[in-house]
């Protein structure tokens, strides 16, 4: 066997092993999707500091995917809900600038408009557009806000653990969390008088795909947590 054939054989073995490993991982993901473990892992990341007992003074809306997006709308919805309940709070929209846009504040302004549309006074809304990740945003806000201020973080559920840890690492003494959980349909709401047997099947299929998505989100977030920990940011 010549060198070329040996290289091809080694490449073939490597590709085969990679495909086997991918197949095993995918099979495990499918199996886990039939259990409630992905949901509990997702919920565990999202409910950190959600049982805060003191009224917040500042609500930090982390921009995430920006606007317009489903994630951005959910965060704005939760932020408006909390702002209308805690009427004395100020709101800080933390979303980095997009250098490709003529108006770098357009996404932040869209989020602000969404809040105003839901009844939040414009005078309560401020912006933080310098930080490009959660660590930088927490670091910059620690220089603008008193660290004794009571904060309430609004972000996606899977991001909450890392966000809260970043703000604690920057010296803030009180950090609460209000995750932007979605409100899913339950099997009862899917039932109809004509075909009640259809609802459990539909709910099962939606759960399967939802749990697969949870697994991806949780896996990605655990990787980010490990990276932040290695960098000493949390």
CB within 8 A of 21, min separation 6: which ones? Answer: none
* Res 198 pLDDT > 70: no
Indicate the average pLDDT of the chain: 85
Every domain of the chain and the residues it spans: 49-179
Residue 70 dihedral angles phi and psi, to the nearest 5°? -60, -40
Cα angle 64-76-175, degrees, rounded to a multiple of 5: 70
State both tokens at 73: 């709308």
Q: For domain 49-179, give the CATH number.
A: 3.40.50.620
For 10-44, the pLDDT digits (tens) are: 777 878 788 888 888 888 878 888 888 888 899 89
**Distance (Å, whole) CA 30 – CA 123:** 49
The Cβ of residue 100 has, within 10 Å, a number of other Cβ atoms equal to: 6
Top mean-pLDDT range of 32-46, 96-110, 118-132: 118-132
């Amino acid at each position: 066997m010549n060198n070329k054939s040996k290289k091809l054989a080694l490449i073939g073995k490597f590709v085969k092993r990679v495909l086997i490993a991918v197949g095993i991982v995918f099979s495990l993901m499918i199996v886990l999707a039939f259990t409630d473990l992905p949901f509990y892992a997702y919920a565990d990341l999202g409910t950190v500091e959600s049982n805060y007992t003191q009224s917040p003074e500042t609500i930090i809306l982390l921009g995430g995917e920006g606007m317009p997006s489903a994630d951005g709308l959910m965060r704005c919805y939760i932020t408006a809900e909390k702002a209308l309940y805690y009427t004395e709070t100020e709101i800080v929209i933390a979303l980095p600038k997009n250098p490709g846009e003529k108006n770098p504040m357009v996404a932040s302004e869209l989020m602000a408009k969404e809040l105003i549309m839901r009844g939040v006074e414009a005078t309560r809304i401020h912006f933080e557009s310098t930080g490009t990740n959660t660590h930088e945003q927490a670091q910059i806000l620690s220089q603008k806000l008193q660290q004794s201020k009571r904060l309430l973080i609004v972000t996606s559920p899977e991001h909450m653990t890392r966000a809260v840890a970043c703000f604690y690492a920057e010296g803030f003494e009180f950090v609460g969390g209000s995750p932007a959980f979605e409100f899913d349909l339950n099997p009862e709401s899917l039932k109809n008088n004509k075909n009640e047997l259809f609802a459990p099947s539909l709910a099962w299929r939606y759960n399967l795909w939802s749990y697969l998505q949870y697994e991806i989100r949780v896996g990605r977030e655990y990787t980010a947590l490990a990276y932040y920990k290695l960098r000493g940011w949390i």
